[in-house]
Amino acid sequence: MRAVDALMECLKAEGVDVVFGLPGGANLPTYDAFVNGGIRHILVRHEAGGGHAAEGYAKATGKVGVAFATSGPGATNLITPICDAMMDSVPVVFITGQVRTELLGTDGFQEADTIGITMPVVKHSFMIIDPQEIPRAIHEAFHIASTGRPGPVLVDIPQDLSRAEIDYEPVSDVRLPGYQPRIEGNQKQIRQAAKALAAAQRPVIYAGGGVVNAEASAELTDFATSDRFPVTCTLMGLGAFGAPHPQWLGMLGMHGTRAANYAMDEADLICAVGARFDDRITGKLSEFAPRAKFIHIDVDPAEISKNVPAHIPIVGDAKHVLAKLATEYRALEADPARLDAWWSRIDGWKAKYPLGYEDSTDSEIKPQFMVRALYEATGGEAIITSDVGQHQMWAAQYYDFPAPRRWINSGGLGTMGFGLPAAMGAAVGEPDRLVCCIAGDGSVQMNAQELATCAQNNIPIKVFIMNNGYLGMVRQWQELFWDGKYSHVDMGEFPDFVKLAEAYGVTAMRFTDKCTLVKDMKDAIAIEGPVLVDVRVTREENTYPMIPAGSAAREMVG
């Protein structure tokens, strides 16, 4: 059997039903195998689009996403999605073609040192030097990508090896003696954490994307409601604790709610689960949660005490640890009344500082209003993807995500152009669910070519561009922190998104009136196939509240 045919068998054995990719010289044998390989392949228009689509697929389904590219420029176009998947712990296997082995190291046509270039941004990578190794490498790549702290794994296959004949035998084991993620959590530590929680007067649960990755949403909710623990989530964790809920404080961090950030500031015990104390959360590190002790639950030991010292470190997967923690906690029968004073303080903040904005008095659409309108038009039940910038923060603030895997965005790397291809991947992975992309007018242009992929394959994503004609977040920072001197942020009215989408074969329209917005959105969503809507919003609106970079939670503005 040719190695590439074995590759198809391996993908099927791993349960892969769809992959995203773009062929080229070095992976011609692989694409020959796709002809009768029995795997759905979606031809993207740019490898970055394929990589982000694989991420969107993985984030929506919880399964491993797969993206293919050729050597050289094909592989380098994947760098951004690979790095994005690393930062946000997304399980994706990237399979790249490489020049023939005799050309390796000779600066051959379309040769790039893909393994070398990607090394800092992969969880692991395999360079194939013997075609017989391909099945095992693929199998181990899936194992590494999807277990422990998930992440991107790359397999680089030289062209001549991919078409070599091999003896294919299904691989059922992995030989990775140096890779043994620990998921159970130390029972003594968990008991210690339960005791600390029972003694805490002002506890907060701070949950991140690790809860989503571990499919631990039910366990988080059960644990949080084993008492009246206040819960806040990071940008990546939204939906892990279903909103709205009486114990829900909203998102925390730079554009989080005052209730969440003030609660962190005054907490005496913070239970961090699957979160990594990113600078967007902590602000000024030396003044972050100054009164708190920390329980830190994470499957990646290196995250524990990396930025903030953990008093009770627990290495384990959120699903296992939270289930045990809830059991231990219940056994202690702590008095819920001890949290009364804490809740009255939090409820005071919630009442005094709800998320809000000054609505327009005419028909102008405020960006926050647009997100609420989409929430109404979708009944809060859509998968929402976003790009990066103001629209991303407004989407995070104003769309109440009731469940995990409904909110798909680029958090760690902050990749503009993520939203549209990620929506495409999510819609392919979850064909029965409505998938909407809240895009920025700046961001969407970075991967707009994938509209062609959506049109050709009738992938029914609904893209709502929050169009303010600016690189809005940069404009906001220039306004607030650079004396209002705008430098290269004005995008004007270019392109005409309606014409652009129509040229790609995508139904398009423009909304400018807030009075009919909800109905207009419902109508757009009802249209079959992909739809793009250019929503014109207030040009200069700022995202608030905000902790200026490097400041403490107490210094929130807006």
Partner 1 sequence: MGEPGTKAPLSLEELQAATNMRTGRKHVLSILVENKSGVLTRIAGLFARRGFNISTLTVGPTEDVQISRVTLTVDGALHPIDQVTKQLHKLINVLKIRDLEPADTVARELALFKVSADGVQRGELVQIAEIFRGKVVDVTKRAIIIEVTGTTEKIEAFETMVRPFGLIEMMRTGEIAISRGRSET
- Looking at beta carbons only, is 256 or 316 nearer to partner 1? 316
Amino acid occupying residue 96: T
180 touches partner 1 (CB under 8 A): yes
Q: Which residues contact 415 (CB under 8 A, 6 or more apart)?
A: 52, 80, 81, 84, 387, 388
Please name the residue ranges forming H helices in 379-515.
Answer: 390-398, 419-429, 450-456, 472-481, 497-503
Of these, 57, 248, 294, 464, which contacts partner 1 (CB under 8 A)? 294
366 touches partner 1 (CB under 8 A): no
CA–CA gap between residue 366 and residue 363 (Å, rounded): 9
**Site residues (CB under 8 A) for partner 1, limited to 123-152:** 123-124, 127, 129, 144
526 touches partner 1 (CB under 8 A): no
293 touches partner 1 (CB under 8 A): yes
CA–CA gap between residue 442 and residue 438 (Å, rounded): 12
Give the number of other Cβ atoms within 10 Å of residue 7's Cβ: 27
331 touches partner 1 (CB under 8 A): no
At closest approach, how far in Å is the CB of 312 from partner 1?
7
Of these, 25, 62, 108, 301, which contacts partner 1 (CB under 8 A)? 301
Per-residue contact string for residues 88-127; x = within reach of partner 1 by CB under 8 A: ---------------------------xx--xx--xx--x
Do residues 229 and 204 lie in contact, with contact meaning Cβ atoms separated by under 8 Å?
yes
Query: Is residue 363 exposed (0-12), middle (13-18) or buried (19+ Cβ within 10 Å)?
Result: exposed
290 touches partner 1 (CB under 8 A): no
At closest approach, how far in Å is the CB of 388 from partner 1?
22
- Looking at beta carbons only, is 225 or 307 nearer to partner 1? 307
Give the number of other Cβ atoms within 10 Å of residue 540's Cβ: 12
312 touches partner 1 (CB under 8 A): yes
Stretch that binds partner 1, among 58-66, 171-179, 214-222, 341-349 (CB under 8 A): 171-179
Instruction: Supply the DSSP symbol for 300.
Output: -
- Looking at beta carbons only, is 13 or 198 nearer to partner 1? 198
Instruction: Supply the DSSP symbol for 495.
Output: S
Per-residue contact string for residues 245-284; x = within reach of partner 1 by CB under 8 A: ----------------------------------------
At closest approach, how far in Å is the CB of 30 from partner 1?
23
83 touches partner 1 (CB under 8 A): no
Q: Which residue has 């790009």 as its token pair? A: 387
b/e map 495-532, b = 16+ CB within 10 Å: eebbebbbebebbbbebeebeebbebbeebbeeeebbb
214 touches partner 1 (CB under 8 A): no
495 touches partner 1 (CB under 8 A): no
Give the number of other Cβ atoms within 10 Å of residue 201's Cβ: 11
- Looking at beta carbons only, is 182 or 433 nearer to partner 1? 182
Question: Closest Cα partner for 278 from 239, 250, 236?
Answer: 236
- Looking at beta carbons only, is 315 or 323 nearer to partner 1? 315
* Residue 77 exposure: Cα atoms within 13 Å on the Cβ side: 26
- Looking at beta carbons only, is 189 or 390 nearer to partner 1? 189
- Looking at beta carbons only, is 290 or 309 nearer to partner 1? 309
Amino acid occupying residue 24: G
At closest approach, how far in Å is the CB of 196 from partner 1?
6
* CA angle in degrees (0–180, nearest 5) for 177-181-187: 125
Instruction: Supply the DSSP symbol for 468.
Output: -
Of these, 36, 107, 173, 178, which contacts partner 1 (CB under 8 A)? 178
- Looking at beta carbons only, is 120 or 356 nearer to partner 1? 120
Residues engaged in binding partner 1 (CB under 8 A): 115-116, 119-120, 123-124, 127, 129, 144, 176-180, 186, 188-189, 191-192, 196, 199, 293-294, 300-302, 304-306, 308-315
